[in-house]
Amino acid sequence: MAGPLIALDATLAGGTSTGDSAYWTGLLTGLAEVAHDFRFLLLSDAAPPRDVALPEDRFRWIRLPRRPARWFSLVTMPLAARRLGASVFHTQYNLSPLARNGVTTIHDVSFFIGPEWFKPRDRFLLRRFVAGSARRAVRVITVSEASKGDIVRFLGVPEEKVVVTYNAPHPRFRPVSEDERRPVLERLGVTAPYLLTVGTRWPRKNMALAVKAAALLPEDLPHRLVITGKPGWGEEGGGPRLHATGYLADEDMPALYSGASLYLCPSHYEGFGIPVVEAFACGTPVITSPGGGLREVAGDAAEVMEEMTPEAWAERIRSLLADSSNLAAMRERGLRRAQGFSWADTARRTVQVYREAAL
């Protein structure tokens, strides 16, 4: 006998909307891989993505009429889930009062922690709607213990209601040999040696720190700083060492990570920080800030910088680049650390959340 029917907000599955899309794509992949008796309704206003293959006997894609975004998430999807007989409705951040047995994934509450990182309207909407969503939800999923603590603190949610399920790298992220990565780097106009930082260009990502640190490196280090990611708002500045590629396809990223001498993550705050584990999976040494869940995710595999000044980062970059044995050890620790994160594990924990929500 088939188990309960679960409706999922699949609007970001297979997309390119930063870590949110990676989460939904990874979760669906994991749910297809692990054993359980659930069936899933995937609700979206778009056609199913071609790069997310799911077994049709357990996953049914439902394309709903396109509506304004807020109406679609707060009315169209939860009512469709009810009409189709779903026992649980799982979305992220904004959970409608119309949802039956609602589960919401809240990746972080950085809009409370660093309000200056957000435009006023975005900050207002997030603070207003996410707090209510967390209160209405039967369960809240988040992506690190650090983020769980922040949710409990800022949203007033009981600790036992919040469940941590880690993110993970996509299987495509692996060490890429020099011969394999050469044509990718040539096409992108990237030449070694280089440092790398990845992310949508938001003030929270603090990419200006990486740019300023690179500018302070001594002349005998020829490394450029490659920045890749979607445009956001705010400026990271320029400099003679900066090479901005713009947004790149996911397929290009393993080669870019693998060719980098160091991956820099100067973010003020991350609920998880998927690029850090992507870098680990590619064998790239990482320097990271301690913001939010980054220290937790990094474990012993990265250099965690307490001092957030360009001068301190430039000195640490310089000293690491001069220490080949330390870099080699960091690569090995990173590869081991990446193996500790899997979407199958995330799916197993999420399945248990669905069981509890459906009661």
Confidence of residue 323 (pLDDT cuts 50, 70, 90): very high
pLDDT for 232 equals 65
| DSSP assignment letter at 271 | S
pLDDT for 234 equals 62
Q: Is a pLDDT exceeding 70 seen at residue 236?
A: no
Confidence of residue 231 (pLDDT cuts 50, 70, 90): confident
Task: Give the Å distances, CA to CA, from 249 to 17, 188, 288.
Answer: 12, 11, 24
pLDDT for 34 equals 94
Burial string for 131-166 (b: 16+ CB within 10 Å, else e) reads: bebbeebbbbbbbbebbbebbbebbebeeeebbbbb
pLDDT tens-digit series, residues 169-205: 999 999 999 999 999 999 999 999 999 999 877 889 9
Distance CA 33, CA 46 (A): 24
pTM of the model: 0.93
Greatest Cα pair distance, the chain, in angstroms, is 69
- 205: tokens are 């990502």
pLDDT for 20 equals 84
pLDDT tens-digit series, residues 12-43: 887 665 678 899 999 999 999 998 999 999 99
Q: Of 81-85, 249-253, 295-299, 306-310, where does mean pLDDT reach its minimum?
A: 249-253
Distance CA 243, CA 224 (A): 7
The SS3 call for residue 335 is helix
pLDDT for 30 equals 96
Sequence spans of domains, the chain: 5-168+342-358, 178-338
How many beta carbons lie within 10 A of that of residue 62, not counting itself? 17
How many beta carbons lie within 10 A of that of residue 237, not counting itself? 10
For residue 341, how far is the Cα from the chain centroid? Answer: 13
Distance CA 225, CA 89 (A): 43
CATH topology of domain 178-338: Rossmann fold (3.40.50)
Nearest alpha carbon to residue 311 among 218, 243, 246, 199 = 218
Nearest alpha carbon to residue 71 among 55, 93, 94 = 94
Mean pLDDT of 226-252: 81
Distance CA 67, CA 175 (A): 42
Q: Is a pLDDT exceeding 70 seen at residue 4?
A: yes
The architecture in CATH of the region 5-168+342-358 reads: 3-Layer(aba) Sandwich (3.40)
pLDDT tens-digit series, residues 127-143: 989 999 999 999 999 99
How many beta carbons lie within 10 A of that of residue 275, not counting itself? 30
Equal fold, 5-168+342-358 vs 178-338? yes
